[in-house]
Structure 1
Amino acid sequence: MNNQELQTLVEQISINEFGKSFRHHAYFNSRLRTTGGRYLLQSHDIEINKKYFEQLGMNELIGIIKHELCHYHLHLEGKGYKHRDRDFRELLSKVNAPRFCTVLPENKKKKQSRKILVYHCTSCHLNYHRKRSIDLTRFVCGKCRGRLKLVKKMDGNEEQ
C-alpha cells in the first residue's frame, strides 16, 4: 500500500463511518515508533505507522484510521478531541474504533529481553535491582553510603 491508496482509504472510511469528508492529507510516516498514527493539529493531516499495516494487517490499519479520524472530526467541530474527553470516547464507541492500538510483535520481544542488574552494598548488604548500569566510582548506597558492587545480571524473566 502506498500513500495514495492510504489517502483513498481514509477518505472512504470518513464518508462511510462518519458521514463527513476528509479534506486533508493522510500518509505513512516511517519515523513513528511507539504509536500507530497521529493527527496533526496544525495541518490537520493524519500520519500512519506503516509497520502496523505490514505486521498486523488491514483490520488494525482501519482501526487506527478510525481513531485518528475521531480526533480529526472532533477537532474541526470544536469539540473535545483529546483521549480524556467524553465526546472523543463516545465517538470512538459509536464508530467501533480502538482507544489504543495493539503492541507490535517486534516490540513485545524487545520488552521481554530486558536485563536487570543487581548491585550489592558491601556495608549494609542491601540489594539494588536496576535496569540501567551505575557508575560505581561515583555512586554509593543510599542508606549507609557504603560501596556498591555489581553482583549479577539477570534476564527480565528470572525471579529476583
Structure 2
Amino acid sequence: MKNAIVIGAGPAGLMAAGALAQAGVQVDVHDAMPSAGRKFLLAGRGGLNLTHSEPFELFASRFGARRAQVEPWLRDFGAEQLRAWAGELGVATFVGSSGRVFPAEMKAAPLLRAWLQRLRAAGVRFHMRQRWTGWAPSGALQFS
C-alpha cells in the first residue's frame, strides 16, 4: 500500500486526504492545531457559505485570469457535486436568496464531524499539534 502525508487539516487538506484514501493510499494528516478544521468551524459561525449556485459560466468567470486553470476543477467538483457530497455526509443544504449555498442547520460542526468520521473510517490517521518544520538531511519530513 502506498503512503502519503498531508500537511494541514483544513478543508483543502481534508479533501486531499479523502481523495487519497479513496484511491487506496494510507494517509496521515499532520496539523499544528489541536483539532482538525478549526478555521472551518470559525468560518461557520457566520452561516458557512459552502459555494454559490449561480450558472457555471458566470461562476467560472469570477476567477478572472485564472479561469482556464480553475475551470477543469470546477467541472469535476462544482456546486452540484459539493451539495451531493454534503448530502452523502448527511448534511442537507439550501440555496439562500443571495444564491449562496448553506448547510440547512447553518452550522459547520455537524458537517465537520461527519467528514472526519468518514475520513477515519477510511483509515486516515490524524496527528495534531504536529507543526511541519522542514526536511531532515535524509529527506524525511520533520515535525515539532
Q: Shared fold by TM > 0.5?
A: no
**TM-score with structure 1 setting the length:** 0.24
Structure of greater relative contact order (alpha carbons < 8 Å, 6+ residues apart): 2
Q: Which of the two has greater helix per residue?
A: 2
**TM-score with structure 2 setting the length:** 0.26
Q: Which of the two has greater strand per residue?
A: 2
